[in-house]
A and B are shown apart, each in its own frame.
Chain A
Amino acid sequence: MKLYLKSLKLHFKSMLEYKMSFIISFFSQIIIFFSFYFVILSLFDQFDNIKGFTLYEVLLCFSVIQFGYSICEVFARGIDRFDRLIINGDFDRVLVRPQNIILQVLCSDADFVKVCRVIQALIIMVISLVNLNINWTIYRVICLLLMMISSIAIFFGIFLLAASYCFITVQGLEVRNVFTDGGKHMAQYPIGVFKKGFVLFFTFIIPYAFVNYYPLLYFIGKSNNILYAFSPLIVFVYLVPCFIVFHQGTKRYASVGS
């Protein structure tokens, strides 16, 4: 943990060396990010609800997912760009060091520009919470926190899976985008909006539904089932196979040489 914090500090310092570039990309990210919200805002300008969900309910769902994804983009960037480590052979160096492999990969990169996305997601979250008139109870607070944490966990898991995929293909293929970008895009809306097959796939194969659909139902009072509030915990179970797959991958790893 100490090691990780130290590497974060180093990445942050190296980022600040290029101050102007950092500031410019920070602000351009804000505008690019806005285009995601623009979709929802303009659609709700035309329609007043989507299968019974109102604007702020969808925005809440949206911000939870964006929050988890951008946290992973900031801190787990090393895993996101794992194919680079493999392609240029740097992964060999990781293997010889007497430290946890995943920790080392996490240390290898961090992208602080994306912090602005985290902030934006939090702002949107607060705006929607203020407008939603939530009947706050201790369970609802726990529910929201669990949603946010499990949102980080699920993207971390998917990044890990995509990284283990690189052991086989060497280069990260675009197919993974279906599960990261595509999944993210889909999970921005309450998943119940979609057709059955999609819902089943994203409940049992990749458990997005437990991040922001079932808990959301409880949170906004559409369901009284207390189990829904704790359903994000299932996502952590999902992390186990992700770690196992990654581990198997490292065992089978054959260096590409350099």
Chain B
Amino acid sequence: MKFYFSYFKLRFITGLQYRAAAYAGLATQLFFGLIFIMVYLAFYESSSGKNPMEVSELVSYLWLNQAFFSLFYMLYKDGEIFDLIKNGNIAYELVRPKKLYFIWFAKIIGQRLSAVTLRCFPVLIISFFLPKPYNMVLPIGLANFILFILTLITGTLLMTSIVTLYHVITMKTLNEKGIPQVFAAIADLLSGLVVPIPFFPHFLQVISNYLPFRYVNDLPFRIYTGNIGLQEGLFGLGIQLLWIVLIVGIGYIMTNKSLKRVVVQGG
């Protein structure tokens, strides 16, 4: 455990070095946040029917999306791991008497947490002080906030297990551009990063309920805004845990299987 934790720490600290990139990213994130909000507001203004989300809920949801974007988008590729697979350095990893799956798991989570630590706070702080209706609002209650933090943590673990899984798949396909990319694009769509889930057509909402992606970020964000009640939120937390166990299990078994027949690339 300590061993894997040090991998995590290493990647986390390395990631924190890239501060300039993070600040540059901040401008992008704020700009995108504003554009999305304006588009939705324009839709709201010109419609008279019932809206799937309140304006304040929606705006907070969109800002959370922007703030945690670098943590939750699935199209994430760990260049270091792909290089390992492609140039054959994976052999070195295999010499180590530790589980490859958990090394990768720790690396990915460290990388992504460092990226989000640099980015989320400025976005959140600025978005709180924007004029109405563009501002983010506080969660509706303490209980909601606690549950938000809890589901955010499990959501992070769930995201890592999914991302690690398609890195494992790449070990078989050797091409990160094909199936893993399609997989990640669909995951991004169904996780609510592109459009909040309540705006989906009904049948897609049903489908997304049966897939793990929604539980990565849609669940915590909607708990924060109060769009999902506490009871439903707790139920969601349970589903998150189930998915984590399942996906980590699949990834772990797949790693061991493909390691038995691993072809070391290059020389």
Footprint of B on A, CB under 8 Å? 21, 24-25, 27-28, 31-32, 35, 38-39, 42-43, 45-52, 173-175, 177-178, 181-182, 185-186, 189, 193-195, 198
Contacts and interface: CB of A to CB of B under 8 A. Distances in A.
B181 A32 contact: yes
Contacts of B47: 46-49
B83 to A, nearest CB: 17
A202 to B, nearest CB: 11
B195 A42 contact: yes
Contacts of B182: 27-28, 31-32
B175 to A, nearest CB: 6
Interface in B14-51: 20-21, 24-25, 27-28, 31-32, 34-35, 38-40, 42-47, 49, 51
Given A49-B46, A52-B46, A185-B35, A31 B195 contact: no
Given A45-B201, A47-B46, A193 B195 contact: no
Contacts of B199: 42-43, 45-46
Contacts of B188: 35
Contact of B185 (A32, A174, A175, A189): A32
A195 B38 contact: yes
A174 B38 contact: no
B43 A50 contact: yes
A175 B28 contact: yes
Contacts, number: 100
A174 B194 contact: no
Given A28-B185, A38-B195, A177-B28, A43 B42 contact: no
Interface in B156-197: 175, 177-179, 181-182, 185-186, 188-189, 194-195
Interface size class of B (residues with CB under 8 A): 35 or more
Given A28-B178, A46-B52, A174 B35 contact: no
30 contacts: A21-B175, A24-B177, A24-B179, A25-B178, A25-B181, A31-B182, A31-B185, A35-B188, A38-B189, A38-B194, A42-B195, A42-B201, A47-B44, A47-B46, A47-B49, A48-B47, A49-B46, A51-B42, A52-B46, A174-B21, A174-B24, A174-B25, A175-B27, A175-B28, A177-B28, A178-B31, A182-B28, A193-B42, A198-B35, A198-B38
B200 interface: yes
B27 A47 contact: no
Interface of B: 20-21, 24-25, 27-28, 31-32, 34-35, 38-40, 42-47, 49, 51-52, 175, 177-179, 181-182, 185-186, 188-189, 194-195, 199-201, 204
B39 A189 contact: yes
Contact of B200 (A25, A42, A48, A52): A42
A97 to B, nearest CB: 32
A50 B31 contact: no
Nearest to A192: B42
A51 B45 contact: yes
Given A21-B175, A38-B189, A185-B35, A47 B181 contact: no
Contacts of B27: 174-175, 178
Nearest to A23: B178
Contacts of B45: 51
Contacts of A177: 28
Contacts of B24: 173-175
Contacts of A189: 39, 42
Contact of A31 (B46, B177, B186, B201): B186
Contacts of B178: 21, 24-25, 28
B52 A28 contact: no
B46 to A, nearest CB: 5
Contact of B195 (A39, A49, A174, A175): A39
